Chains A and B, each alone.
Chain A
């Protein structure tokens, strides 16, 4: 399967702990996106990379959130000092440089902060 993969699929943590999620995009895709989805809502944009450069960041991405894509391949999203309000599904998507801006999503990481 050559789709977007995310690990872990589920993460339960205690408030105040740090968590890190990983996303592996479709291999030929240069663009990688992170979104967050809470219950009853559509996904909300967090940040976007083109190769290793982080080009856009949402105001939703507080100082406790950091994302990296060090070699322009996989990406990590770290949340420091988690809060209960961080509980959500974290989705990663990728797209190619050309074409119709179609973004393909991974299965997501479900975070629960106790």
Chain B
């Protein structure tokens, strides 16, 4: 069974601070996605990474896929209140289309 562990589970920071959240597994994933979810809504896809060592940037968000494709990180620079939400990582293994999700990191950015 593939498991994804996310840390920290909760994070409360001041506007303008930087932060990093982590997604770790003992399993290798063919691809890994990061989503953001607002209360009462479905997850919204932020990025997909497929190559070990891959780094992708989305404005103030930087995503990295580990060299061994077992872990990933999300770094947010100069956080804003609009970044508040639940950040979920999800991976799929070789030959499978189902996504395995972590429990998420709940981020609060205080103005």
Q: Which B4-63 residues have C-beta < 8 A from chain A? A: 4, 30-31, 33, 35, 40-45, 48, 50
Partner of B88, one of A4, A42, A93, A102: A42
A10's nearest neighbour on chain B, judged by CB, is: B40
Partner of A48, one of B35, B43, B48, B97: B97
> Is the CB of A31 closer than 8 A to any CB of chain B?
yes
Instruction: Report the count of interface residues on A (CB-CB < 8 A).
Output: 28
A-B contact pairs, 19 of them (CB 8 A): A6-B42, A31-B97, A33-B97, A33-B98, A42-B90, A42-B101, A42-B102, A43-B90, A48-B97, A58-B98, A91-B42, A93-B99, A95-B97, A101-B30, A102-B33, A102-B45, A102-B48, A104-B45, A107-B41
Taking A43-B88, A100-B48, A103-B33 as known contacts, 13 extra A-B pairs with beta carbons closer than 8 A to each other, sorted by chain A number, are: A4-B42, A33-B99, A40-B103, A42-B90, A43-B43, A48-B97, A56-B96, A58-B98, A101-B92, A105-B35, A105-B44, A108-B40, A110-B40
Question: Measuring CB to CB, which residues of chain A are less than 8 angstroms from any residue of chain B?
Answer: 4, 6, 31, 33, 35, 40-45, 48, 55-56, 58, 91, 93, 95, 100-108, 110
